[in-house]
């Protein structure tokens, strides 16, 4: 079948992001083991389960006094599906993160695009660094939905037109907008994840408030929920100490 015979994929529109924990080796005991090697040396593995209250206290002490390296001896790999503009922000996190993203050079990009749902606050009020978001009007929501879907359809038609004319995918993709969905594997450890969460979530227990874009915060919240199940003591200590990475 040639490209000319293949039916054009129909654009689809989403308002969500997805995060799947695909692989992990991460537990509170990894932190304790790494910390206790300082004093117990090779014996430290045997000490792990002896005294749970002491373990909790040690993790809290490490977090509070910012002894960060014991939180690095673990690994979590997430599969993330989100719009390109989220990935642009995500990839600014350089330390303790590994990324692999789908290619727009080796295969045709699927026409899946982001359109915010009614829960997304549309209007920004206040000055940069000190602003709030408020609900949009019905007319604003209607405009955003219509303008985005029209624009996405047009961009994708142009992309397809160029592909059909034999233009390389890596050239034709220049017309596609940042609302296009992409996917990636992202691997981190608890320390790098805490740094990410401190910056990309808004939380009442945060010592230093941050003002992330809602869509990357949606990704961060899903990652946080997975991590909290794997390392409950570390997670509790993170919150108790103002959600700042050690
Ligand atoms: C709300 C918000 C708004 C933002 N707005 C903008 C914006 O308008 N424009 C923009 O360009 N970016 C913006 N950013 C991105 C921001 O500047 C960071 O690039 C991003 O948050 C990653 O943080 P990081 O560098 O601490 O993380 P990582 O790259 O993971 O680094 C972790 C830590 O390692 C250390 N480190 C890493 N690299 C170096 C280095 N080269 N030298 C010294 N120390 C280093 C630092 O202590 C750093 O905190 C924004 C981020 C947030 C959360």
Judged by DSSP in three states, 91 sits in coil
CA–CA dist 195, 170 (Å, integer): 33
**Res 74 pLDDT > 70:** yes
pLDDT at 156 over 60: yes
**Nearest Cα residue to atom 36 of ligand 1:** 95
For the entire predicted model, the pTM comes to 0.94
Give per-residue pLDDT as tens, 134-146. 999 999 999 999 9
Please state the rounded mean pLDDT for residues 92-98: 98
pLDDT of residue 9: 84
Percent of the chain with pLDDT over 70: 92
Domains of the chain (ranges, CATH numbers): 3-116+179-240 (3.30.1360.170)
Q: How far apart are CA 54 and CA 62, in angstroms?
A: 12
**If you average pLDDT over every residue of the chain, what do you get?**
93
Q: Report pLDDT for 48.
A: 61
Q: Are strands 123-127 and 181-188 parallel, antiparallel or unpaired?
A: unpaired
Per-residue pLDDT at 1: 47
Of 200, 207, 214, 243, the catalytic one is 200
Q: What is the mean pLDDT of residues 76-95?
A: 98
Q: What's the gap in Å between 89 CA and the centre of ligand 1?
A: 10
E runs forming strands in the chain: 12-14, 18-25, 75-83, 97-101, 112-114, 123-127, 130-134, 181-188
- What percentage of residues in the chain have a pLDDT greater than 90? 85
Q: Compute the average pLDDT of residues 64-70.
A: 97
> Is there a binding annotation on residue 189?
yes
pLDDT per residue as tens digits for the range 112-126? 999 999 999 999 998
Segment 1-60, tens digit of pLDDT:
455 566 778 999 999 999 999 999 999 999 998 998 766 655 556 656 677 788 899 999
Say yes or no to pLDDT of 83 above 60.
yes
Mean pLDDT of 59-83: 98
- Tokens 């991590």 correspond to 227
| 200 catalytic per annotation | yes
Ligand 1 mutation pick, 68, 87, 91, 94, max ligand atoms within 8 A of CB = 94
Contact assessment for residue 230 and residue 26, using Cβ atoms and an 8 Å cutoff: yes
pLDDT at 127: 83
Q: Report the pLDDT averaged over residues 169-194.
A: 98
**CA angle centred on 202, ends 198 and 204, rounded to 5°:** 100
Q: Ligand 1 — pocket residues by CB below 6 A? A: 92-95, 195, 199-200, 210-212
């Amino acid at each position: 079948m040639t490209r000319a015979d293949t039916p054009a994929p129909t654009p689809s529109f989403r308002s969500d992001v997805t995060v799947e924990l695909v692989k992990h080796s991460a537990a509170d005991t990894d932190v304790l083991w790494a910390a206790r090697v300082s004093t117990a040396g090779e014996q430290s593995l045997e000490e792990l389960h002896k005294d749970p209250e002491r373990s909790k206290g040690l993790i809290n002490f490490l977090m509070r006094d910012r002894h960060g390296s014991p939180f690095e001896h673990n690994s979590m790999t997430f599969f993330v599906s989100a719009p390109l503009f989220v990935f642009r922000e995500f990839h600014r996190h350089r330390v303790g993160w590994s990324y692999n993203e789908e290619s727009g050079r080796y295969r045709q990009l699927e026409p899946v695009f982001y359109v915010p749902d009614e829960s997304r606050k549309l209007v920004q009020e206040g000055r940069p660094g000190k602003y709030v978001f408020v609900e949009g009007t019905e007319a604003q929501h209607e405009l955003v939905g219509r303008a985005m879907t029209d624009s996405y359809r047009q961009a994708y038609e142009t992309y397809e037109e160029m592909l059909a004319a034999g233009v390389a995918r890596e050239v034709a993709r220049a017309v596609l907008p940042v609302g296009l969905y992409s996917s990636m594997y992202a691997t981190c450890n608890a320390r790098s994840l805490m740094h990410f969460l401190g910056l990309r979530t808004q939380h009442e227990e945060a010592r230093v408030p941050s003002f992330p874009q809602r869509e990357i915060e949606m990704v961060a919240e899903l990652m946080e929920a997975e991590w909290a199940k794997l390392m409950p003591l570390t997670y509790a200590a993170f919150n108790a100490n103002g959600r700042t990475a050690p």
